[in-house]
Amino acid sequence: MRFKMISFLIFNFLVICSFNLVFNIYSENVGYVLYCPCMGRFGNQADQFLGALGFAKGIGRTLVLPPWVEYRYGESKSIQVPFDTYFQVEPLQEYIPVMTMEQFMEKLAPTIWPPNKRISFCYIPRGGTGNCNAKEGSPFGPFWDTFEVDFVGSEFYEPLHYDTYHRSMAKQWIAKYPIDKWPVLAFTGAPGSFPVQLENRHLHKYLKWSSNILEQAEKFVKENLPKGAFVGIHLRNGIDWMRACEHVNHSPNLFSAPQCLGYRNEKGVATHEMCLTSRDVIIRQLKRLLKKMKEVKSVFVASDHNHMIEDFNKHLRRMNVSVHKLPESNPHVELAILGLSNHFIGNCISSFSAFVKRERDTMNLPSSFWAFPNEKIFRDEL
């Protein structure tokens, strides 16, 4: 009888202990990383998102998934689009715990991040004010205003940085900002680099289109492209890009160029032709691919400006392929369609192309780049 009583008490004690342990792990010891994707448009934000994911994993915190920041023509304030409009949350949980910013602000912020505890993190003071100035200008102000966040102070984390793969950086973050004292680290900008760090590229496999985007992409392919294989191409040629490409000669690894040239330019330097490929080279390169891929029935063109549909119709007439684009620009659906193609030709310098290339790499699907390797090397290979 007595023995039964004692074992019952011990059992209860163990149950309570393990409950407490679990409770502590999931409540008090959970730390969060928040940030504003305040730099660049979608491609840049996606690169930095992978960095933020790797960073949160490195320092053992939950990543709060920020909305995507978008800019509408003629509007001075940025627009915030919830993360899960474009991507599924669930697959990311396989890598680390995540939650959307909407959920965080509604469910957790009132208790673990009340208004008087809202400190913004930046490397050094910004804009000569002595603080992080986290809400100065667009998208900084509109981003935090979306969630009615104001900051009461700044924290400068210099000399720490986001690369948690080297120099015991993760340990230093954990030591300097323990979760019990700093449950929330809210960064003024993304805690991730642009272009994406090599070590974080593979994290793209956790980034899966929302069913809404994927269904639109599949529907377009099914209803508009002839049955059979298709090639997807990205033509980045708007006015902002023309200007950006002027810098290519003194930036051998401009923007996303490491995706084809290597992070240390192992495979050459960026050229103007790779950045803003001429009409003739585009047509020649596409024709060469179509000659090799006899099964291809159509070409899908994504572009921010000139889709060159007439040029293609003229020059590909004898090749028996049709050429298509979306009736209206829709960057995310276009990206998803490019991801579904049998072969993708992208712009090595563009982070918009880089998104597609990474996604395809995770599925072992083939991709190539405009004007890379250059045509002379191409010819030597043939």
Buried b (16+ CB within 10 A) or exposed e, 2-15: eeeeeeeeeeeeee
Q: Which is nearer to ligand GDP, 268 or 331 (CB)?
A: 331
**Binding partner of 304, given ligand GDP, Mg ion, none, CB within 5-8 angstroms per partner class:** ligand GDP
**Binding partner of 331, given Mg ion, ligand GDP, none, CB within 5-8 angstroms per partner class:** ligand GDP
Q: Tell me the C-alpha distance between 144 and 36, whole Å.
A: 8
Q: Exposure of 353 by Cβ count < 10 A (0-12 exposed, 13-18 middle, 19+ buried)?
A: buried
Quote the least distance from Cβ 241 to ligand GDP, whole Å. Answer: 7
Q: Tell me the C-alpha distance between 41 and 49, whole Å.
A: 12
Cβ within 8 Å of residue 375, ≥6 positions away: 281, 284
Quote the least distance from Cβ 176 to ligand GDP, whole Å. Answer: 32
Is residue 65 within 8 Å of 93, Cβ to Cβ? Answer: no
Quote the least distance from Cβ 334 to ligand GDP, whole Å. Answer: 5
Quote the least distance from Cβ 236 to ligand GDP, whole Å. Answer: 5
User: Residue 221's CB: how many other CB atoms inside 10 A?
Assistant: 19
Q: Which is nearer to ligand GDP, 47 or 58 (CB)?
A: 47
- By beta carbon distance, the residue nearest ligand GDP is 43
Check binding of 331 to Mg ion (CB under 5 A).
Answer: no
- Phi first, then psi: give them for residue 373, nearest 5 degrees: -60, 165
Helix (H) or strand (E) holding 121: strand 119-122
Quote the least distance from Cβ 200 to Mg ion, whole Å. Answer: 18
For 180, what's the count of Cα atoms within 13 Å in the CB-facing half-sphere? 3
Quote the least distance from Cβ 152 to ligand GDP, whole Å. Answer: 32
The contact pattern for Mg ion, residues 28-67, with x = CB under 5 A and - = no contact, is: ------------x---x-----------------------
Q: Which is nearer to ligand GDP, 278 or 329 (CB)?
A: 329
- The alpha helices in the chain, defined as continuous H runs, are 2-26, 42-58, 83-86, 90-93, 101-103, 109-112, 140-145, 169-176, 211-224, 239-245, 258-261, 272-275, 279-292, 309-315, 331-340, 351-362, 375-381
Quote the least distance from Cβ 43 to Mg ion, whole Å. Answer: 5
Which stretches of the chain bind ligand GDP, using CB under 6 A? 40-44, 234, 236, 255, 302-304, 329-331, 334, 350-352
Q: Which is nearer to ligand GDP, 57 or 325 (CB)?
A: 325
Q: Which is nearer to ligand GDP, 132 or 233 (CB)?
A: 233
**Binding partner of 42, given Mg ion, ligand GDP, none, CB within 5-8 angstroms per partner class:** ligand GDP
**Binding partner of 234, given Mg ion, ligand GDP, none, CB within 5-8 angstroms per partner class:** ligand GDP
**Binding partner of 359, given Mg ion, ligand GDP, none, CB within 5-8 angstroms per partner class:** none
What's the Cα-to-Cα distance from 131 to each of 33, 101, 150, 154, rounded to whole Å? 20, 24, 13, 6
Q: Which is nearer to ligand GDP, 49 or 121 (CB)?
A: 49
Cis peptide before 159 (omega within 30 of 0): yes
Interface residues with Mg ion (CB under 5 A)? 40, 44
